[in-house]
Structure 1
Amino acid sequence: MRLIYRALFKQLMQSAARSHRLAGRPALAGYAFDHITLKMHIDGRFAYRELDALEHQLFPKLAADTVCLDIGANIGNHAVNFADHFHHVHAFEPNRKALDLLEINARLRPNITVHSVGLSDHRHTLSAVQPEGNLGGTGASASGSASDQRVELPLVPLDGVDLALGGRAISFVKIDVEGFEAEVIRGAAQTLTTHRPVIGMEVDRRSVNGGSSPALAAALELGYTHMYAMRRGGRARFRAVSNAVERNYPMLLLSTVPLEFEER
């Protein structure tokens, strides 16, 4: 029976690989047995629903000659996909283990710059837990076990980073930093006020209280008054919401101006 399951699994994986290659998915390097890598093998890319919604609904509204920031880039799954839609992508990642693969994967696109730091509201080093089998879950609030590692993450404010934009505008900022989103926004206040990019942010249900969260409140102070959540189930698309409810948002869009999203 085990041999039958093995043969079946091998056939399914080979079929999936052919399908992903035909779809033009980038062949990213990943760590065996890690959560993100497993999802890439199955779906062609990690967070495929979020990327699909961004590529079909949001990115066509943004100028192609603008800049994207990927804050919490991990191994580069999002950055490499973003690079096809923007003039340049700046990818920020402080975790050395993720950074090793991010630097390799960034070579797939000539318009990605890798920054070996994370972002916060002041310069410091954060001691974080790196869960075994889930590199993307590394963070100060991660629940550790005996097999997990503790890592030191160098963090700086975005407003102190020279991005060498060459006069180009930043039109989109993705933030996925495992509970440190508010600090990132506060440390990027000047940049966000100047460029007014759309923010795509992960929001954990544990941070939501009374329709908001520390990160959402920080963005609201900078004029981000419009919020769009991904529809749960069905087609991947965004819809306007007036406040956040107590659930996980893998991608919540924040904007200083209204965004019109058509049904697909």
Structure 2
Amino acid sequence: MPHLKQKRNENYTELLFIMMFDYFRSARKKQRASHLRYFLMHMMYKYGFKFSTYLDVGACNSIELDQYCDLFDNVVAFEPNPKAIIIPRDNLILHQKALSDREEVRDFHIDMTIPHYSTLNRQKMDKYIPEGHDWKIMQVTTAKLDDYELRPSCIKIDTEGEDDAVVRGAYSTITKWKPILYLEFMSQETEQSLIDIGYTVEYSSWIDNFLIHEDYI
């Protein structure tokens, strides 16, 4: 979708039409990523957020990142998988780092069959991934998002089972800047911790959760 960064400041209706076209086109191809992107753009405009800094925790590849680089002024991505193919962009900063709620050495399980299933939390993901996948293990040193002192307008967290820990490690950042949040998985404990600091769930399903802070409602 070219020229979205220009159109975001020109005509909201036109941009939503473009995003809806992308949504329905992708729905035919069953591309969930485009569905999420459409919903995120709708929230950004609905609540008046600036397209300043987008944080992608669990970036996986350049397919989605390229489109967010076209929309946001700055994109900061975290992806520890060395097999991930991420093409450099002028407004993209890539950290080959696994995020969690503390700094420690962990086993990172790389799914050689379907790379985007790679995870720190193999025990949890084994509940959802069929048997027969080829796995490789590498050791990584995890970090907290709070350590990077970023100022996001939106945070996407899709870490194949580690989302709750990432939120705990990003608590100060989230509390201070109140970004729109997208979490693939969200436990009741994490949901309540976010509600306690003023967030409300805008949309939630089994694996997709969007939250907005009450200051913007």
Same fold judged by TM-score > 0.5?
A: yes
1:148 corresponds in structure 2 to: 135
Percent identity, aligned pairs only, is 23
Deviation for aligned residue 1:95? 1.5
1:160 matched residue in structure 2: 147
8 Å contact from structure 2 (residues 55, 77) kept in 1: yes
**Which residue in the other structure is 2:91 paired with?**
111
The one-letter code matched in structure 1 to 2:104 is H
C-alpha separation in 1, matches of 2:95 and 2:36: 23
Contact kept in structure 2, 1:46 and 1:77, CA below 8 Å: no
Structure 2 residue matching 1:52: 3-state secondary structure: helix
Alignment partner for residue 248 of structure 1, among 188, 206, 211?
206
Equivalents in 2 of 1:71, 1:228: separation in Å?
Answer: 20
Report the CA distance shift for 1:189/1:146 in structure 2 as closer, same or farther (over 3 A): closer
Alignment of structure 1 residues 74-223 onto 2, 5 Å: 74-98=60-84, 101-102=85-86, 105=87, 107=88, 109-139=89-119, 140-141=121-122, 142-143=125-126, 145=132, 147-163=134-150, 169-203=151-185, 212=188, 214-223=189-198
TM-score (norm: length of structure 1) = 0.61
Amino acid at match of 1:219: L
The answer as to whether partners of 1:185 and 1:218 remain within 8 angstroms in 2 is no
**Relative to 1, partners in 2 of residues 1:63 and 1:216: Cα closer, same or farther, differing over 3 Å?**
same
Aligned to 1:37: none
Q: Could you say what secondary structure the match of 1:248 adopts? A: coil
Give the CA deviation at 1:252.
1.2
How far apart, in 1, do the equivalents of 2:54 and 2:133 lie?
A: 38
Separation in 1, partners of 2:162, 2:143? 12
SS at match of 1:84: helix
Q: Which whole-Å deviations, capped at 9, do the CAs of 1:105-158 have from their partners, x for residues lacking one?
A: 2x2x31110011121111112213323321111122233647322233331011
Deviations 1:84-106 (A, max 9, x none): 222101001111112xx12xx2x
Q: Gaps spanning 5+ residues in structure 1: where?
A: 1-22, 26-39, 164-168, 230-243
- Partner residue, 2:43: 58
The structural deviation recorded for 1:77 is 2.9
**Residues 111 and 43 of structure 1, relative CA distance in 2, 3 Å threshold:** farther
**What is the CA distance between 1:179 and its match in structure 2?**
1.4
Query: How many pairs does the alignment contain?
Result: 185
